């Protein structure tokens, strides 16, 4: 008797570089409105490059992202739309209605999500503190600007120490109650 074994050929899986540095609040049992649902630390101020990675990560977690809004104060160019997971996401901006340190994401299935935007040039220690504070389930309700102001006052040398070019997952965002993502 002979046995035939079939071994499928290995298939190529495209390499996907890390796209989003993200810390989210755990899903709460209460339905109360919170100021922030977490924090996002983009690598640059180029929204055309940064937003697809963010929306790509959040689509499966929160449902299909349909719109994104930012305050244009810290973004030199704002694209009108981006492509994510085979669909178009519209991008808009608000000057007075939206905190300049926050990004708003809308999903047709799960509603509105607000994230603190940690500036790309922030040092890793400052970014870790900001992301932990914005994503802690026990933190008091605080605005994005209040968190940024507190970090600049409390951090030795301020939040704008030496710029960080990359992120080491070993120093990661491991604050109490956070759900860290380094994808």
- Per-residue pLDDT for 13 more than 80? no
CA-to-CA dists, residue 14 to 11, 17, 56, 160, angstroms: 10, 10, 16, 36
Over the stretch 98-132, which tens digit does the pLDDT of each residue have? Answer: 889 999 999 988 889 999 999 999 999 999 999 98
Share of the chain above pLDDT 70, in %: 64
Higher pLDDT, 168 or 106: 106
Query: pTM for the complete prediction?
Result: 0.70
Radius of gyration of the chain (CA): 19
pLDDT at 78 over 70: yes
- Within 10 A of 66 (CB to CB), how many other CB atoms are there? 17
Bridge partners, residue 116, by sequence:
39, 102
Strand-pairing partners, residue 133, are none
The b-or-e profile of 75-108 (16+ CB within 10 A means b, else e) is beebbeebebeeeebebeeeeeebbebbbbbbbe
Structural contact between residues 76 and 99, judged by C-beta atoms closer than 8 angstroms: no
């Amino acid at each position: 008797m002979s046995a035939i074994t079939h071994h499928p050929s290995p298939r190529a899986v495209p390499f996907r570089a890390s796209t989003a540095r993200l810390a989210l609040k755990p899903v709460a049992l209460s339905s109360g409105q919170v100021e922030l649902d977490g924090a996002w630390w983009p690598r640059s101020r180029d929204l055309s490059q940064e937003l697809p990675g963010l929306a790509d990560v959040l689509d499966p977690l929160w449902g299909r992202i349909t719109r994104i809004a930012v305050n244009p104060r810290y973004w030199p160019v704002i694209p009108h739309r981006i492509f994510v997971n085979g669909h178009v996401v519209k991008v808009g901006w608000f000057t007075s209605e939206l905190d300049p340190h926050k990004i708003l994401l809308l999903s047709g299935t799960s509603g509105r999500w607000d994230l603190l935007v940690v500036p790309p040039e922030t040092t890793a220690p400052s970014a870790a503190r900001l992301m932990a504070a914005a994503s802690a389930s026990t933190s008091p309700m605080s605005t994005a600007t209040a968190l940024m102001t507190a970090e600049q006052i409390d951090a030795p040398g301020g939040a704008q120490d030496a710029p960080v070019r990359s992120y080491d997952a070993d120093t990661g965002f491991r604050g109490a109650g956070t759900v860290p993502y380094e994808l």
